[in-house]
Amino acid sequence: MKKIAIFASGSGSNFQAIVDAVKAGKLDAEVSLLVCDKPGAFCIERAQNERIPAFVFTPKDYAAKSDYETEIYEKLKELDVDFIVLAGYMRLIGEDLLTPYEGKIVNIHPSLLPAFPGKDAIGQALAAKVKETGVTIHFVDAGMDTGPIIARQSVSISQNDTRESLQTKIQEIEHQLYPSVLQKLLHS
């Protein structure tokens, strides 16, 4: 069984969807670790409730990105983690993780990449007044949301959509699509 580490910075709704998929037998994997860069984020409580260990850190407590990424890498090695799953992790991954996990780091993004990369993709889509956005799952490279695309699913935007309603529609897709794509990736 493949061991995964989930990296998150916020509420952890995708973290929970992945854990639930594992418990339901829809994703054949072991969630071995949560990595979180925001002490106090709700994803940490979710991990505690699921009895999943968490490595929580504050980036500014480190002299350089490579310092905390080296520490993360040591934790991943210690737990024999095979695959890294980014789920709302709001940091670019550096060489200290990209190199040893090349081709084994995926991210989910709330837009149809390459449209609306980076932060606040939902706000960007609303501001652009597009009629469609969506969800993209992609491999992670050194750029911001630039890695090879694995899967995408569109979400229509109605004129009545608010940031909250659009986020809800996107998350419904994310919570189904991510575990399904992970199952295929981990067992292909």
Q: What is the 3-state secondary structure (H, E, C) of 50-68?
A: CCCCEEECCHHHCCCHHHH
- 109 is a catalytic site residue: yes
Beta bridge pairs of residue 135 = 153
Query: Of 89, 83, 96, 105, whose CA–CA distance to 31 is shortest?
Result: 83
| Residue in 109, 138, 175, 187 annotated catalytic | 109
CA distances from 50 to 109, 124, 138 (A): 24, 34, 26
Q: Is the peptide bond before 59 cis (omega within 30 degrees of 0)?
A: no
Which residues are designated catalytic? 109
